[in-house]
Amino acid sequence: MVSKADLTPHTASATGAVLAWTELETELGWASIATSRSAICALILSDHSDPQGKKLSQAVQGAALKPAGAARARQNQQWIRTAIARLVDETLEPLPLAVVGSPFDLETWRHIQLIPPGETRSYQQLAQAMNRSSAVRAVASACGRNRHALLIPCHRVVRSDGGLGGYRWQLERKARILTYERDAALAQHTNARQNILIKKP
């Protein structure tokens, strides 16, 4: 088992399930989330509010969406906040994810979840970690099919030459998230070092 969180296969459009959706303005842009009663089916990022949920509807591949009621909306918004918090604090409890993808997609996404906050891996390195060195293009395509922004942190996968590569929620946002993580990691390292120095006799 390589994943930090279970990726439960989910076929909402096939089962006729209705997903509850909510949006929230965050420091990383507008976040829209679609959930079943027990898991997050999609989390997307955008520059603008999407009050009709049109972008989210595209992400969930035809599953029916309805605005979340008050209680579900509060839960959904808390899940969004936790998704952002986990970018820099993986001691927080993983959130439940329901995914749609091929076995190769799920394998790729599980390995992406193993990349620590503040670090990156190239598409080539990710393919090698999966023992699929010749599948670099397939790995990149699986990243592009991820519909769980932040939760499956495909923003941590970059090109071998250091370029950002692709990101379905805009390259500028990818760079911003990476900077957000690195700044937090540096601050944590500095605080830890200061605590060690203070404890010295």
What are the structural domain ranges in the chain?
Answer: 7-85, 102-184
- Out of 41-45, 98-102, 192-196, which region has the weakest mean confidence (pLDDT)? 192-196
Find the angle CA(136)-CA(151)-CA(38) to the nearest 5 degrees.
125
Check if 154 is active-site. Answer: yes
The residue behind tokens 């959706």 is 21
Q: How would DSSP label each residue in 176-193? A: HHHHHHHHHHHHHHHHHH
Average pLDDT, the chain: 88
Fold of 7-85: Double Stranded RNA Binding Domain (3.30.160)
Q: How confident is the model at residue 189 (pLDDT cuts 50, 70, 90)?
A: low
Residues sharing a CB contact under 8 Å with residue 185, sequence separation 6 or more, in sequence order: 88, 117, 118
Statement: residue 149 has pLDDT above 90: yes
- Whole-prediction pTM: 0.87
Which residue among the candidates 154, 158, 177, 178 is catalytic per the annotation?
154
Give the span between the Cα atoms of 54 and 121, in whole angstroms: 32
Tracing tokens 């699986």 back to the chain, one arrives at 142
Residue with tokens 């690195």: 182
Find all residues with CB under 8 Å of 82, minimum gap 6, and list them: 92, 93, 95
Structure tokens at 108: 């790729």
CATH classification code of 102-184? 1.10.10.10
